[in-house]
Structure 1
Amino acid sequence: MRPAFIAATVAVTFALSLPLTAQAQEAQPEFSFNAAITNDYVWRGASQSNEDPALQGGIDVTYGSFYAGTWASSVDFGDGTDAEWDFYAGFNATTGAIDWDLGVTYYTYVGEPDEADYHFVEFKVAASHTFDQFTLGAAVHFSPDFYGVDEEATYLEGTAEYAINDRWSLSGGVGRQFLDVTGDYTAWNLGVGVNLTDKVALDVRYWDASVDGPLTDARVAATLGVAF
């Protein structure tokens, strides 16, 4: 059994065994919407849009500690696949000084070739802690059938964010993708975000990965988004 899968199993078991804090107040559903345009849709160090711009958007609903939503982005895999369309759900809770996020995401792809079968499910356990202007986080993502190639995959990730003020922030992350068959690799990013208004934000981020390839070379992704 791979060390990454063991880590994912331990993290899930530990998180589910915690005495999660429930919200005492009667919850009401809250909806939010987001849309964005980016010069390059980068996911874990790899361009999903063939280094071209992508349009993105999503809808979220929260009900107390629980959340669900859907998000989509245009993609270009060079095989007729037009878009990524994700569906996700989970819940947030706090134990002591740690904020937890346990969720599951179903990744689907519009226009994929019949033989591709890119669709896959991924489970997530994430923890974070905020002190002063810093937020540190760690997450484990596990898929039993990554990109439909009958391959287990685990992504271990660490993140950090520093809020300079109400408008500006610095953030970054480093992750290790463990793959049973095609090989492991590391991806990392570092970026700056600015709130242009209370609803519009710009994120400029440098990405790089340890795997060679034209779509995993070092690159800068700039994303302009609106949330309401």
Structure 2
Amino acid sequence: MLRTALLAAAIVGLSAPAVSAQDTGFSLPDGFGVEIGAGTDNRSKNASKTNGEAYAYGIVDYVPPTGDIYFSGSVEGVDSNGADWESKLLVGWTPQFAGFDFDINAAHKWLIDPVPGTDNGAWEFTANMSRSIGPASARLQYQYSPDSNGSTASFSWVEARVGWDFTPRLEGTAAIGRREQRNSVDYTGWNVGATYALTQNLELDVRYYDTDVDIPADEKYDDTVVAEIRLAF
């Protein structure tokens, strides 16, 4: 499968001794950031977007000199309505107020080459409120889509997450969320795991996911352990 081959190539490449963009003599234009990664499963809102298969992804971000507005474009592996890939364009705003950090964004997503006739586009709106005090952190997230991809109509997602920095390199987090959607399953999902910074640019995340859904013929809600590796510049 193409996604599995890409995962293997990404792991080999990312597992090599990591160097910074400056070490190679290459530097990104001011305001730009790039992240690439791969994982054993693509989990979103604690459910699998690849039915338990491996995936790879890439993200390009741009932050203008104003600093509180940003733009992002991405592509990621999925298994949805015949499509192996999903692209996304996003614009966001990151104000601060009363000691809290906010991230409010709007994204439009497209399935790439799905089955003809598939509803392959969707808007998704997200609001995050977060705060860190010493090694502790917390985030509250709300997401809404008026019409998701495929047969799923509108949905809402609310998630609470807490984290703790055990060392400058090791962070543990746990989250629980609730998704309610038209024409699909309502469920509660949770995850717990840790992220370790292997280098300044390279990190490894290992996480356990589960939901309260028990549908034997649908693997996307099954519990599993997911490993992801990410390289960012």
Structure 2 residue 213 is matched with structure 1 residue 225: no
1:140-219 to structure 2, matched below 5 A, reads: 140-149=142-151, 151-212=153-214, 213-219=218-224
After superposing on structure 2, the runs of 4+ consecutive aligned residues of structure 1 that deviate more than 4 Å are: none
Distance 1:74 1:189, change over 3 A: same
Deviation at 1:124, TM superposition (A): 1.1
Which TM-score applies when normalising by structure 1? 0.83
Deviation at 1:126, TM superposition (A): 1.2
Deviation at 1:225, TM superposition (A): 0.8
Structure 2 residue 78 is matched with structure 1 residue 86: no
- Residue 72 of structure 2 corresponds to 69
Q: Please give the secondary structure, in 2, of the residue aligned with 1:182.
A: coil
- Residue 49 of structure 2 corresponds to 48
Distance 1:202 1:150, change over 3 A: closer
- Residue 13 of structure 1 corresponds to none
Once the two structures are superposed, residues 69-103 of structure 1 have per-residue CA deviations (whole angstroms, 9 ceiling, x without a partner) of 111112223x5312011111111011111111110
Q: Structure 2: which 5+ runs fail to align? A: 1-28
Deviation at 1:45, TM superposition (A): 2.1
- Tell me the C-alpha RMSD between the 2 structures: 1.6
Q: Please give the secondary structure, in 2, of the residue aligned with 1:50.
A: coil
- Residue 105 of structure 2 corresponds to 103
Once the two structures are superposed, residues 48-83 of structure 1 have per-residue CA deviations (whole angstroms, 9 ceiling, x without a partner) of 223221111110011210011111112223x53120
Which TM-score applies when normalising by structure 2? 0.81
Deviation at 1:29, TM superposition (A): 5.3
Kept in 1, the 8 Å contact 2:170–2:197? The answer is yes
- Matches of 2:118 and 2:149, distance apart in 1: 9
Once the two structures are superposed, residues 178-228 of structure 1 have per-residue CA deviations (whole angstroms, 9 ceiling, x without a partner) of 113324111111111100000000000111111223221100110011001
Kept in 1, the 8 Å contact 2:173–2:192? The answer is yes
Kept in 2, the 8 Å contact 1:120–1:148? The answer is no
